[in-house]
Amino acid sequence: MPGSAAYDPQHRPLPPDEVVKTPVFVELIDSITAETERPRDKVAEEVRDCLGEMAVVPSATQTSQLVWKRLSKFMSRAYRVDVDDHGLKHLRKLGKEASLIFLPNHKSYLDPVILRSTLAKHGFPPNYVLGGDNLAFWPMAPLARRNGIVFIRREFKDADVYKRTLRTYLGFLLSNKANLEWYIEGGRSRTGKLRPPRYGILSYVVDAFNTIEDEAAYCVPVSVTYDQQHEIGAISAEEMGASKSPESVKWLYQYAKDQSRALGRVHLRFGEPLSIGEAIETVRRDELAKAEELGVEPPTNLDRYAVPKIAFEVSHRINKVTPITPTSLVTFALLDNDDRALTLGQSQSVLNPLLEYIALRGLPLTSDVEIGETNGLLRSMDTLISEGVVNRYDGGTEPVYSINPDRVHEAGFYRNSIAHHFLTRAMVEVATLQVVKSGEDIVDGLWPAVKALEDLLKYEFFFPSSRKLADSVARETELVAPNWQNREWNAVTALDELRETPMHVAHRTIGPFLEAYEIVAIRLAERLPSRPIEPKDFIAECIGFAKMRWLQRSLHSPESISKNLFDGALKLAGNRDLISPGGEDLRLRRQAFADELRNAVALVQEIRRMANAQEGLTQEVSA
């Protein structure tokens, strides 16, 4: 990029007043002036103001860096860091020739603090961290800007000059091989699993990448996983309708105070880097081939197709390296047992088949997973008991353990962090049962049933291509019913094998999501089709309805009372054209949607009964 040679090779930032004088910004100002016919000095002033909001400010002394380092250490004192050293060695080598764009999942406000300090210990230059300006309050904002934080407005759809300034600034940084960092979910996870990616910043980076010559940039998927998190309590309350506390000095003080006790480890894992240039070229090639095959003109802007593909591929790679922790396994065992407390032996009866499956699949584990041993299970129980998430009762012949009824959302947060590892298995369980009940041919009907579930859950989970998903479905079905494609696999044998398989996961992975979606579908079906829907009010209505059903025990778990899940269900309803007002046809389609969710929830309930029987928690399984 012309004129960027003045940039410091050690990635020390130029002052905004110097950045705006570089040729690329001069060109931007001239371009906007010509297009809008505004006075050049007014355009230059607006660009300078926009840049002043976002650009990193150099520190005249080392004081701000020292203060930031000490503050970061103080804020993250509750955790020990467990890092993937091998992945970092590869990234260090790659970063010598290219910009690295770190794209972590987002579980905590501490994520950038922990990632920055870890990278610094391993010899990486500071990242330019793109964050929302909701955290740009005094005295944090000046200190943060001097330590690589690029504050970005939360909303700027109609601010054309701001958007173009941001795009140009990102290109300026990439042309100088600076490393970037932002959180692709756009906000902290509310349920423990990875949220759908936001495309905004990534689209600007793709645009900026295309303006620079002979440069390389790699997206680096980063998984951040905590053994325990204090802030989940507040997140859980917000999911059930409480208001979010605004960020402020008072809030920051309380947040720092809450990190005073040890909460275990935070696990950093790095997925396979994704070349932005190669991803763009692949999309261009695929779209041109598709247009040629269909005999139509190719799209005018092929690169816009690259943005969602890059985002979803990064998300897949984050999920792939997200490790299974002791906390996630303990909550997996103790949740969804029909409100029963479990003995240690019963907990192990849930976990042992799961651990065998994890070993068979080669799924990632943290180094401290010793759940198969009684002492390891007890240690993990004890940490959750100390935080009040798990209750222990000692008044009988042996101790029994259960999730604190007031902390179910928090326990679900930990368990949901590993739900994606068992997603295909859960779908195979439900799809098999559905086909058995429908009377269809089992082999022919399984795939359509899986695809129908995929469509229901597409706003909650990331799915691979149809080919890869089909391979995954075949693998999981083989575990339940060996040689299923090459023998007579009828309804009777399929149901028997599904009952007898030692591990059932559908109720513990997709059950709460489907039940939350059913709440939204029921409220839509009961609503006058001519009545408009305001999403915020409708979700509040769903929260109230779900709480009522929970009190009546017609809702299986309070986990399903979730603003985030109701929002996903509303997106699915919108995708099916069930939101805008209509007439009788809309009423019928909404009712069909509700029936589809009711059926899915009923199938999960049958899987739950099978699991309880297999795990020795009940004596009967309904036919």
- The residues, any chain, with a CB within 8 Å of residue 440's CB and separated by 6 or more, are none
Residues 55-92 as b or e (16 or more Cβ within 10 Å = b): bbbebeeeebeeebeebbeebbebbeebbbeebbeebe
- Given this model, what pLDDT does residue 619 score? 43
What's the pLDDT score for residue 136?
Answer: 67
**Has residue 140 got a pLDDT over 80?**
no
pLDDT tens string 466-504: 999 999 999 999 999 888 877 788 888 899 999 999 999
Structure tokens at 57: 């400010």
* SS3 state at 302: helix
pLDDT in tens, 189-215: 999 999 999 998 899 899 888 888 667
Query: What does the pLDDT read at residue 1?
Result: 37
pLDDT score of 245: 74
d(CA 193, CA 562): 13
Q: What is the mean pLDDT of the chain?
A: 89
Global pTM reads: 0.90
Residue 596: per-residue pLDDT: 98
DSSP character at residue 560: G
pLDDT at site 470: 95
**Whole-angstrom distance, CA of residue 95 vs CA of residue 176:** 12
- Integer Cα distance of 245 and 109 in angstroms: 14
Q: Single out the residue of 420, 426, 425, 474 nearest to residue 447, CA to CA.
A: 474
Question: What span, in angstroms and rounded, lies between the C-alpha atoms of 499 and 429?
Answer: 10
Give the pLDDT confidence of 70-129 residue by residue, as tens digits: 888 888 888 999 998 888 989 999 998 899 999 999 999 899 999 999 998 998 988 999
Q: Are 264 and 228 in contact (CB under 8 A)?
A: yes
For 381-432, write each residue's pLDDT tens digit.
888 999 899 999 999 999 999 999 999 999 999 999 999 999 999 999 999 9
* pLDDT value of position 135: 66
Listed in order, strand segments (DSSP E) in 293-349 are 342-343
More confident position, 138 or 371: 138
Q: Which of 223, 321, 268 is nearest to 80 (CA)?
A: 268
pLDDT at 519 over 90: yes
**Domains present along the chain, CATH in parentheses:** 4-235+248-321 (3.40.1130.10), 326-417 (1.10.10.10), 418-623 (no CATH)
Q: What is the pLDDT of residue 60?
A: 58
Q: Per-residue pLDDT averaged across 579-606, rounded?
A: 97
> Which of 417, 498, 414, 408 is closest to 461 using CA atoms?
417
User: What pLDDT score was predicted for residue 149?
Assistant: 85
Residue with the bigger pLDDT between 372 and 23: it is 23
Q: How much is the pLDDT for 6?
A: 35
Nearest to 231 by CA among 404, 75, 391: 75
Mean pLDDT to the nearest integer, 209-235: 88
pLDDT in tens, 165-181: 999 999 898 888 889 99
C-alpha 132/C-alpha 20 separation (Å) is: 22
**What's the pLDDT score for residue 4?**
38
- Give residue 294's pLDDT: 86
What is the four-CA torsion angle of 588, 590, 592, 598, rounded to 10 degrees? Answer: -140
Gap between the terminal Cα atoms of the chain: 69
Q: Quick check: 154 and 422 in contact, CB under 8 A?
A: no
Do residues 222 and 129 touch, judged by C-beta distance below 8 A?
A: no
Residue 436 pLDDT > 50: yes
Classify the C-alpha dihedral 106-108-109-114 as positive or negative. Answer: negative
Query: Helices 326-334 and 344-361, interaxial angle, to 10°?
Result: 120
